[in-house]
Structure formats: structure tokens, C-alpha cells
């Protein structure tokens, strides 16, 4: 079989969504890598990678723009990947959006098999098309650490009576992913709880922090009765998820009145009041949630 025939067989196996056929073209020691794999992968790791893509994009397909030999034992292929995100990706719910990604693969052939595939593409293209944030930032600068944050709000504008704060130091990267997902699942649970106002999470380095606002300290105890939060805390206590951490409930000492700016005269008014009317007679905007 020629080098070109072997590469066509490899790419056709992707379009048939046949992991066994892909692995067969690489032989026992062939490797695959692209900007998202963090190095070469092969065997079952490669199988998990391709099946994960097919789970997120069940209709995934590649259009071959060009396939040509670049040397006696090397081939280059340009392609366009298309698919619809109808399955979970990175633990996120499907968006239902279509994506289109241009890229190129470079193949090395040895002993009748593909010895290596190196893929190149814009790693930010698919997340942007799915409506996801793509943030490039350092992990740390001096005393500052950088990460990501998530907020969930019920829309309730009442003044918080208490805040619950949970902080966990993840055991490793995989544990960090589990804790992050547990945090999202916990917030979904809390949206159904009486007295829950809103929650903010922060992930930086190995640290996972969640700060949630409640109408009263008693309301915050609902998360301890079961669900995703209880599962995550078991992982902290048995040492499978966290190296250290703590939970706490903070009651308010002082919350200053909410300030609303009049769109007409620009005056800041302490509110909210019953009429939500500025001294100039203009109705004030609806107050945003405290948290």
C-alpha cells in the first residue's frame, strides 16, 4: 500500500467514526498529537481521544482539501472539520451549534504503517464558535494568581443574611476537574433551595473557592443534606480529591443600602424604596441582585 493510500485510509476511518480502523493504520507504535493532546498519544489513549470527539460531535466529518507526498516517507493533508455539538464537551452541556475548523496533518510513514501524525489547527476556533470564552493569561505574576470564575444568580434582590464559603486545594489536575464539575452541579442543586440568592466560584492554580449568598445562616445548611456538595465533601474527607480545605458560614456585620443612579439627573439614591422614584420624579432602574 502506498503512503497516500495509507493516509486516505486513515482519514476515511475518521469519517466512518471507526476507532479500530484508525488504530490499525498506525500499527502498534504509531502516535498522534495535536495542540490539544499535550504531546503524542497512541493506543487506548488515542481511542479515548477520538471517541470523546465523536461524543461531543456525533456527526464529525473531515473534508480533504489536499493530500500529497512531501518526501519518500512523508505526507501532508489539508482538511476542514465540520460537526454539530450535540454532546457534552469538557463537562459542559451541548450547545447545538455547528463548527468548522481548518487544519493540516503531517504524516511520517514507516514499515507499511503510519509512524506519526502531527496535527496543526487554531485551538481557539472551536470554543469561539461554540460561544465559549477563550482567555490567555499567565498562571501567576508575583503575589497575583489568575484563573477563571463562574456566577449563578436567582435574580432575587433581597439583602443577604449569610455567606457560605468553601475552599479546597485539589489533589491534582484530574481532582481539580472533578471539584469544578461538582461545584457547577452544586449550584444547580442550590437553585432549587429556599433562601439561596446567588453564588460565585473562583479557580486558580489548585485552589477551588465557592462563595454563596443566602437569606439566612439556616438556609445555607441545606447543601449539607446530600447531592453534589455532599459527594465533593466526602472526596475531601477521604483524601481522594483534596489535599486540604475548609467550609464556613459567615453572617453579616453590616450591609450598606443599595445605591441606584437616576438615568435622568444622575443622582445616586439610597434604595431600593417602595416607589423606586428619584427626588427629581424619574423612576429609578430596578435594583440588581446583591450577589
Domain with 284 in it: 258-291
Domain limit, last residue, from 129, 161, 188: 129
In 78-226, which ranges are continuous DSSP H helix? Answer: 125-129, 173-190, 217-220
The CATH number linked to 114 is 3.10.450.50
Tell me, what's the pLDDT at 55? 95
Is residue 140 a part of any domain in this protein? no
Q: 37 is written with which cell numbers? A: 493532546
How many domains are there within the chain? 3
- Chain center to CA of 134: 10
Tell me, what's the pLDDT at 79? 97
Is residue 192 a part of any domain in this protein? yes
Could you give the strand order of the β-sheet that contains 61-71, starting from the edge strand earlier in sequence?
31-33, 113-121, 98-110, 74-84, 61-71
Q: How far apart are CA 106 and CA 7, in angstroms?
A: 10
Cβ(92)–Cβ(150) below 8 Å: no
Tell me, what's the pLDDT at 196? 96
Is residue 177 a part of any domain in this protein? yes
Is residue 139 a part of any domain in this protein? no
Residues 48 and 93 in one domain: yes
Residues 25 and 88 in one domain: yes
Is residue 34 a part of any domain in this protein? yes
Is residue 189 a part of any domain in this protein? yes
Tell me, what's the pLDDT at 273? 56
Tell me, what's the pLDDT at 277? 85
Is residue 136 a part of any domain in this protein? no
Q: Nearest 5°: phi and psi at 229?
A: -65, -45
Residues 20 and 124 in one domain: yes
Residues 190 and 271 in one domain: no
Residues 51 and 84 in one domain: yes
Domain limit, last residue, from 129, 161, 190: 129
Tell me, what's the pLDDT at 274? 60
Residues 226 and 288 in one domain: no
Residues 209 and 152 in one domain: yes
Residues 263 and 233 in one domain: no
What are the Cα distances from residue 271, in Å, to 175, 195, 258, 277?
Answer: 44, 21, 5, 9
Is residue 138 a part of any domain in this protein? no
Residues 192 and 217 in one domain: yes
Q: How far apart are CA 257 and CA 91, in angstroms?
A: 39
Residues 8 and 117 in one domain: yes
Residues 9 and 123 in one domain: yes
* Consecutive 10-residue averages of pLDDT for the chain (291 residues): 94 96 93 93 94 95 96 96 91 89 97 96 91 78 87 90 94 88 88 94 92 95 83 83 92 87 90 74 87 88
Tell me, what's the pLDDT at 145? 87
Q: How far apart are CA 203 and CA 150, in angstroms?
A: 9
Terminal Cα-to-Cα distance of the chain (whole angstroms): 64
Tell me, what's the pLDDT at 275? 67
Residues 219 and 187 in one domain: yes
Q: Give the up-direction half-sphere exposure of residue 285: CA atoms within 13 A in the CB hemisphere.
A: 14
230: left (phi over 0), alpha (psi -120 to 50) or beta: alpha
Amino acid at each position: 500500500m502506498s503512503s497516500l493510500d495509507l493516509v486516505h485510509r486513515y482519514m476515511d476511518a475518521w469519517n466512518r467514526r471507526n476507532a479500530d480502523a484508525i488504530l490499525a493504520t498506525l500499527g502498534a507504535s504509531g502516535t498522534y498529537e495535536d495542540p490539544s493532546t499535550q504531546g503524542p498519544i497512541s493506543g487506548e489513549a488515542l481511542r479515548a481521544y477520538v471517541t470523546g470527539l465523536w461524543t461531543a460531535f456525533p456527526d464529525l466529518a473531515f473534508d480533504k482539501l489536499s493530500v500529497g507526498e512531501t518526501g519518500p516517507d512523508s505526507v501532508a493533508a489539508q482538511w476542514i472539520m465540520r460537526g454539530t455539538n450535540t454532546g457534552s464537551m469538557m463537562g459542559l452541556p451541548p450547545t447545538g451549534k455547528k463548527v468548522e475548523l481548518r487544519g493540516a496533518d503531517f504524516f511520517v510513514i514507516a514499515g507499511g504503517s503510519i509512524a506519526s501524525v502531527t496535527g496543526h489547527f487554531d485551538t481557539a476556533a472551536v470554543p469561539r464558535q461554540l460561544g465559549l470564552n477563550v482567555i490567555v493569561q499567565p498562571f501567576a505574576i508575583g503575589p497575583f494568581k489568575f484563573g477563571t470564575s463562574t456566577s449563578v444568580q436567582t435574580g432575587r434582590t433581597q439583602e443577604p443574611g449569610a455567606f457560605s464559603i468553601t475552599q479546597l486545594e485539589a489533589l491534582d489536575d484530574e481532582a481539580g476537574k472533578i471539584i469544578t464539575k461538582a461545584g457547577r452541579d452544586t449550584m444547580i442543586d442550590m437553585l432549587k433551595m429556599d433562601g439561596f440568592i446567588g453564588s460565585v466560584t473562583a479557580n486558580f492554580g489548585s485552589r477551588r473557592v465557592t462563595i454563596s449568598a443566602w437569606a439566612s445562616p439556616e438556609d445555607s445548611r441545606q447543601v449539607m443534606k446530600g447531592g453534589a456538595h455532599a459527594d465533593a465533601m466526602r472526596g475531601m474527607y477521604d483524601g481522594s480529591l483534596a489535599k486540604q480545605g475548609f467550609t464556613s458560614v459567615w453572617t453579616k456585620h453590616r450591609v450598606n443600602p443599595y445605591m441606584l443612579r437616576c438615568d435622568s439627573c444622575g443622582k445616586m439614591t439610597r434604595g431600593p424604596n417602595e416607589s423606586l422614584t428619584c427626588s427629581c420624579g424619574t423612576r429609578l432602574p430596578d435594583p440588581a441582585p446583591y450577589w
